Amino acid sequence: MKAITRIEQSLAAAIALGEDGSCPPRLAGAIHHAVFPGGARIRPQICLAVAQACGEDDPLLADATAIALELLHCASLAHDDLPCFDNADMRRGRASVQWAYGPALAVLAGDALIVRAFQTLAMGACHSPLRLPGLMATVGAGVGTPGGIVAGQAWESESRVVLADYQRAKTGALFVAATMGGAQAAGADPEPWRALGDGLGLAYQVADDIRDAAADPALIGKPVGRDVALGRPSAVTQLGLEGALAHFRGLIAQAADAIPDCEGGSGLRQLVLGESERLIPASMAEALRQRAALSAIVSA
Amino acid sequence: MKAITRIEQSLAAAIALGEDGSCPPRLAGAIHHAVFPGGARIRPQICLAVAQACGEDDPLLADATAIALELLHCASLAHDDLPCFDNADMRRGRASVQWAYGPALAVLAGDALIVRAFQTLAMGACHSPLRLPGLMATVGAGVGTPGGIVAGQAWESESRVVLADYQRAKTGALFVAATMGGAQAAGADPEPWRALGDGLGLAYQVADDIRDAAADPALIGKPVGRDVALGRPSAVTQLGLEGALAHFRGLIAQAADAIPDCEGGSGLRQLVLGESERLIPASMAEALRQRAALSAIVSA
């Protein structure tokens, strides 16, 4: 089975467990809206790829770990779009959860998804219960305080922010949980997998900054230019467009180099390089350069 | 050590784990504000009392379960006070989290507390890891979908609500998790403890409705009359004040009768009856009756 099929099926099964007749129907709708249809599901894909590279002796637990991370990611998007943060009306090319269901149900859908993530992890550990505490520590570190994605979002409420700390928490932490959690789900030592997650997370954040600052809204399915409009730290405002593009390429190369020697290493390397092209296609980089050059001529 | 001392110390230790230098300082402040100073800590008290009644062979896990439930309760209060729900400026006699730190940090503090609850549970299971999956299922059912406190809050966004379903999810579910989780933390069968949690939870919700509809704001430290103002289902609007008081007394008696035969049963019974008097003191019930009688004369 293709990884993406496996992920979508497991996500549907995890969500269905909370959807019986006693669930308030609009909450069930908001949760569904937050998870389906999804984006690239890159965190669970990376998690499964690492689990496979580590011998994947418990596919049920690998699935559960991958799905838990995606549910936490979906929860963070539902909350990030709230009026007190981005106040976004669009996400993944259609209405955001808060726009479609209102902010109250967007808050509750996010809360329910965080809980569902940990429930999924616990259920998936039935064959390897002794791996559960370590996996929960890894997943918890990726999402909670002091340095998970919740902390990353909270840096936007501080008056002084270090860009690298902010990016590492806001995006990197969940990628680190994906690589290390994938290893732990397969019973392997997670530490050698930290650097891959760290590099990938930083690369994603820089790619997001580039796409936010410069891309055509029609290409990425959400409003753009919000980082600049909201005065947020961004690689583009700090390094300029060309500097941010170079930084992105360097981070992807570092991430690919950080893959430990293992049986599935070359497949993982391909996944990383493929994601780089998906995030910032060569054609997009070239168009951005031309636009920047034109703008320099006009303002000269 | 008194149970309340044990609870406060364990809460402080759990929160401190997320507060190292890399945590955004305002988020750390908001989390602290959401948890300290607390209310009666009744859910963890009940959880510890049940664990003791079941022989409590792993105090670390009993503590972790109790603390996880209190963190989830604090998270739900931080979110319930948001502008999209109660928009409350006061909680426990001082500023609510959203009022003191703004809604963004109130959302994130709640999220971080949900995660911290599950992290605490996982860390506390180091001596009895095989109890962790079952405990997580119990705690997850108390807080998530389809019937936990998140679902309870979501019923307020539905146009048609069954009062008993709403109350069971909104308040009862976490009490059921407290009694069943206390038993599981001690390695005992949780099922015989379900009825106690169920009865207590319903009694608490009815007490909250009575206090909301009728009490002096100075007595309970938060704005009152909100259920009626917001058109929410309430035992007082459905049964009248006298009916609600009788319903409350009946539920407390049922809960006390539901305590299984066990060594610590009489202590637990005392805890339940003491809580009844703390929630609706006889003097408060009498004053409410007099006010209702006066109001009937005035309107006659």
Alpha carbon of B261: minimum distance to chain A alpha carbons (Å): 31
Residue B134: count other Cβ atoms within 10 Å of its Cβ: 16
User: Contact A75/B24, CB-based, under 8 Å?
Assistant: no
Q: Any idea what DSSP says for residue A36?
A: S
**Nearest CA of chain A to the CA of B41: how many Å?**
22
The model's pLDDT over B54-77, given as tens digits with 9 standing for 90+, comes to 999 999 999 999 999 999 999 999
Name which residue leads in pLDDT, A227 or B288.
Answer: B288
What string of pLDDT tens digits covers the 300 residues of chain B? 899 999 999 999 999 999 887 899 999 999 999 999 998 999 999 999 999 999 999 999 999 999 999 999 999 999 999 999 999 999 988 999 999 999 999 999 999 999 999 999 999 999 999 999 999 999 999 999 999 999 999 999 998 887 778 888 998 999 999 999 999 999 999 999 999 999 999 899 889 888 887 655 544 455 556 665 666 667 888 888 889 999 999 999 999 999 998 888 888 998 899 889 999 988 888 887 787 777 777 766
pLDDT of residue A289: 78
pLDDT at A130 over 80: yes
Q: Does any domain span residue B300?
A: no
B-chain CB neighbours of A104 within 8 Å are 84-85, 154, 156-157
> Tokens in use for B209?
């409705």
Over 90: is that where the pLDDT of A258 sits?
Answer: yes
Chain centroid to Cα B173, Å, comes to: 9
Contact A111 B75 (CB under 8 A): yes
Q: Is residue B298 part of a domain?
A: no
Contact A156, A167 (CB under 8 A): no
The H-assigned helical ranges of B102-193 are 103-124, 132-143, 149-154, 163-167, 173-185
Looking at mean pLDDT, say which of A147-161, A201-215, B262-276 comes out highest: A147-161
DSSP B300: -
Q: Is residue B45 in some structural domain?
A: yes
| Residue A294: half-sphere exposure toward Cβ, Cα within 13 Å | 6
Query: In the prediction, which pLDDT does B222 show?
Result: 55
User: Who has greater pLDDT, B264 or A97?
Assistant: A97
Using the 8-state DSSP alphabet, how is residue B260 labeled?
Answer: P
CATH number at residue B219: 1.10.600.10
* Predicted local distance difference test score (pLDDT) of residue A283: 85
Taking a C-beta distance cutoff of 8 angstroms, is the pair A199, A255 a contact? yes
Taking an 8 Å cut-off on Cβ atoms, the answer to whether A104 and B26 are in contact is: no
3-state helix, strand, coil in chain B (%, to 5): 75, 0, 25
pLDDT at A221 over 60: no
Non-local (6+) Cβ contacts of A33 within 8 A are A95, A97, A100, A101, A109
- Which residues does chain B have within 8 Å of residue A108's beta carbon, measured at their own beta carbons? 79, 150, 153-154, 157
**Angstroms from B143 CA to nearest CA on chain A:** 7
Distance CA(B235)–CA(B2), nearest Å, equals 34
**Contact check, Cβ <8 Å, A82/B116:** no
Q: Considering the domain boundaries, does residue B47 fall inside one?
A: yes
pLDDT in tens, A173-195: 999 999 999 999 999 999 999 99
Q: Is residue B297 part of a domain?
A: no
- Looking at per-residue pLDDT, the higher value among A231 and A12 belongs to A12
Which pLDDT score, from 0 to 100, does residue B219 have?
Answer: 45
**Domain range for A11:** 3-299
Q: What is the pLDDT of residue B83?
A: 96
Rounded to the nearest integer, the mean pLDDT of chain A is 90
Is there a domain that residue B299 lies in?
A: no
Rounded Cα distance between B174 and B63, Å, is 16
3-state secondary structure of B94: strand
Cβ B145–A18 below 8 Å, yes or no? yes
Of A75, A84, A165, the CB nearest to B103: A84
Task: Name the residue among A129, A132, A137 with its Cβ closest to that of B119.
Answer: A137
pLDDT tens per residue, range B85-107: 999 999 988 999 999 999 999 99
How far does A103 lie from chain B, in Å, by closest CA? 6
Check residue B237 and give its pLDDT: 81
For residue A177, the chain B residues in CB contact (below 8 A) are none
Say yes or no for a CB contact (<8 Å) between B75 and A25: no
* Domain total in chain B: 1
Å from A128 to nearest chain B CA? 10
Residue-wise pLDDT tens digits, A45-91: 999 999 999 999 999 999 999 999 999 999 999 999 999 999 999 99
Spatial separation of the C-alpha atoms in residues B105 and B198, rounded to whole Å: 32
Task: Identify any residues that bridge with A94 across adjacent strands, giving them in sequence order.
Answer: A91
- Residue A122 has its nearest CB partner, among B19, B114, B136, at B136
Residues of B in Cβ contact (< 8 Å) with A155: 24
Q: Residue A137 has what pLDDT?
A: 97
Can you give the pLDDT at residue A219? 45
Shortest CA distance to A51 belongs to which of A244, A185, A190, A220?
A185
* Closest Cβ–Cβ partner in B111, B129, B137 for A129: B129
A248/chain B closest Cα distance in angstroms: 24
